[in-house]
Amino acid sequence: MHARAKKALEAFLKEDIGRGDITSKLLPRKKISARIISRQGGIVAGVQYAREIFVSRKCQVRILKKDGSRLKPNDVIMTITGPAYSVLSCERTALNLLSRMSGIATRTDYLVKLIKSTNSRAHLYSTRKTAPGLRIFDKEAVETGGGKRHRVSLDQMVMIKDNHLAVSGSLRDIIRAAKKRHKRFEVEVENLDDAVMAAREGATIIMLDNIPPREILRIVRTLERLGLRDRVRIEASGGIDASNVKNYARTGIDMISIGKVTSSVLGLDLSLEVS
């Protein structure tokens, strides 16, 4: 497990426990067994992180459902054995993270199926619309659900967006500046002419943000007609969800970014029960 993840998990525990779980300190010092159960169907994600939380407090964990497994109601995901204080003081932190990641994976799986039913070449991508401190976990959950990671941080790839253009003043100039220093870069465009220009100037990815499917289809077909389509990957983003994702997939694009997967998370219903 990455050191950054371990550090984050420890911080999550400290946030919840504070100076000590004063309720669990009232209990007898005894060893107990517990299990984490799914109350609904879905895709489980974050199992290793939940395990690490308990193990860090001297508990033993047996994983019964690995990341990516499909859950049914009342499935046991893992069992935990250890001091009562340790198990109960870790309970909420482990459940919160496991529930969030499993909720993201479950939603991603659903959306990926909608996309693939219409366009087998297109993939769902995560965005940077994540809660601070949770990005590495959110991105991994998307991947567990069958999606793909976009850039995790700003240093991974150049992405020229509308506010960069507002500062630069010239889309062509900032594209050429990017091309001099980077092999790969993405450009957000607002119309057909800019899409053609970006493809000709060597953009790796063209992002079509808040552009309706009908207009995206026109852009795709124009790039095909001009012999430019194979030079670039085309991404759609903005206002895409289950109600319209198939319409975007049908346009023949390569990438569909859906920020709501990580910005509006509905966690999977899980619980910890002491045996």
Which one of the listed residues 129, 179, 246, 260 is annotated catalytic? 129
**Phi, psi torsion values for 257, nearest 5 degrees:** -100, 130
Paired residues of 70 in beta bridges: 43
Which string of DSSP letters, residue by residue, matches 60-86?
EEEESS-TTPEE-TT-EEEEEEEEHHH
Burial class (CB in 10 A: 0-12, 13-18, 19+), 79: middle
State which H helix or E strand residue 32 sits in: strand 31-38
Does the annotation count 129 as an active-site position?
Answer: yes
How far are the Cα atoms of 90, 202, 218 from residue 196, in angstroms, in the given order?
54, 10, 12
Spell out where 161-254 has E strands: 185-189, 205-209, 233-237
User: Catalytic positions, please?
Assistant: 129
